[in-house]
Amino acid sequence: MSSELDGPAWFTSSYSNGAGGECVECALSDDHALVRDSKTARGPVVTFTRGPWQPFIRAVGRDQFGIPAGRSR
């Protein structure tokens, strides 16, 4: 069976504790990055084109948003 029929391969950050807390899940395709709330897997999915996704991930990795780890605004 093809992966397209199985749906996207969702993953969480390696920094996630795996307890299903305040995490997002991501999935990548050739053209898009998909993001959803790990607590509501059947809920809405935010779709980004791959162009803006790469700079966003780099900015998160460099902590350019100024949110301390484990804290939300």
- Asked if the structure places residue 68 within a domain, the reply is no
Higher pLDDT, 59 or 65: 59
Three-state secondary structure readout of 15-66:
CCCCCCCCCEEEEECCCEEEEEECCCCCCCCEEEEHHHHHHHHHHHHCCCCC
5 confidence band (pLDDT: 50, 70, 90): very low
Q: Write the pLDDT tens digit of every residue in 34-62.
A: 999 888 888 999 999 988 988 988 988 88
- Asked if the structure places residue 56 within a domain, the reply is yes
Q: Write the pLDDT tens digit of every residue in 9-34.
A: 999 877 776 665 678 899 998 899 99
Domain span at residue 32? Answer: 3-61
- Asked if the structure places residue 39 within a domain, the reply is yes
- Asked if the structure places residue 41 within a domain, the reply is yes
Q: How many domains does the chain have?
A: 1
Q: What does the DSSP 8-state code read for residue 6?
A: H
Higher pLDDT, 73 or 63: 63
- Asked if the structure places residue 19 within a domain, the reply is yes
- Asked if the structure places residue 20 within a domain, the reply is yes
- Asked if the structure places residue 8 within a domain, the reply is yes
Percent of the chain as helix, strand, coil, to the nearest 5: 20, 20, 55
